[in-house]
Amino acid sequence: MENHIEKILFTEKQISQRVSELASQITLNFSPSTNNGGGPLLSSSSSAPVVVGVATGAFLFLADLVRKINLPISVDFVRVESYGSGTVSSGKPKISCDLKIDVTGKHVILVEDVVDTGNTLACLFEHLKSKGASSISVCTLLDKPSRRKVNVEPVGEGKFYCGFECPDYFVVGYGLDFSEVYRNLPYVGILKPEMYS
């Protein structure tokens, strides 16, 4: 599989370090006793956030992230399909597996592998608002702002947490796939075009 990768963009060590930083920021923002410049998102009477992984791409990122968040969080998954077996989003995401946890009145942190067009986030934000989430944050491993078609702002007191800004290449590894392969690579790399052309 290594010879299918054109270039490693983010190493295992870089990812681990950035995940720790994101988890620390989330812990700080959601700790009821925090009185920092950014201010806590939760009052002492509020419950801890529900962390929702967008399956399947975010599963490794979610697992590493939640183990480093020092809060009594709940974890759930939602599955949204928009790629199929291709390399470009269809632009019409659909929820194929819904949450089990009731998010009414709760703060939700959506954990994504990559935010590119914004279509999936827009779909999920509408869905979570309809379920009564009080605020929605996003924590994405990769952000591809150059591909954005829909700008989605966090809901309520939500925030946008980003691991890395990613150039517009088709990337795999650390949960990201092409046709369900390459998710187990410990880094994020550019897939050679001949592997999907």
Please list the active-site residues.
Answer: 116
Determine the Cα–Cα distance for residues 84 and 129; give it in Å rounded to an integer.
26
Beta strands in the chain (DSSP E): 5-10, 50-55, 74-81, 94-97, 107-115, 135-143, 160-165, 171-172, 188-191
Closest CA to 187 of 4, 23, 51: 4
Structure tokens, 38: 């950014």
Pairing of strands 5-10, 188-191: antiparallel
Cβ contact 82:112 at 8 Å:
no
Backbone angles phi and psi of 10, in degrees to 5: -135, 120
Residues written for the chain: 197
Cβ contact 163:19 at 8 Å:
yes
Cβ contact 93:123 at 8 Å:
yes
